[in-house]
Amino acid sequence: MSKDKVNEGLFGAAKKFSDAFFDGLKRNQADSVLKQARKARMDREVIQRMEKLKRDKEELDKILSKIPMAKK
């Protein structure tokens, strides 16, 4: 196994970890904003729209994750 292959593997693993970490932060932030909106008694229609956007994004992410990525 060449040094380049090992480095690619390490960088690939680090990228996957950082992507997962920051995706988790984004999800937690969205949940936090929704919680604050409910607590502030924001208009029900606005909260429903925010929840729908969150669900739509999660659905789109799921669909996109099934599409094979092109090799670089």
What is the length of the chain? 72
CA gap 60, 30 in Å, rounded: 16
**By C-alpha distance, which of 20, 22, 54 is closest to 37?**
54
Domain coordinates of the chain in residue numbers? 3-65
Kindly report whether the global pTM for this prediction surpasses the value 0.85: no
pLDDT band at 2 (very low <50, low <70, confident <90, very high): low
| First-to-final CA distance of the chain | 20
Phi, psi of 68, rounded to the nearest 5 degrees:
-65, 135
- What DSSP state is assigned to residue 41? T
> How does pLDDT run across 11-47, given as a tens digit for each residue?
676 677 667 767 777 778 888 888 888 999 989 998 8
Confidence band of 48 (pLDDT split at 50, 70, 90): very high
CB atoms within 10 A of CB 30: 16
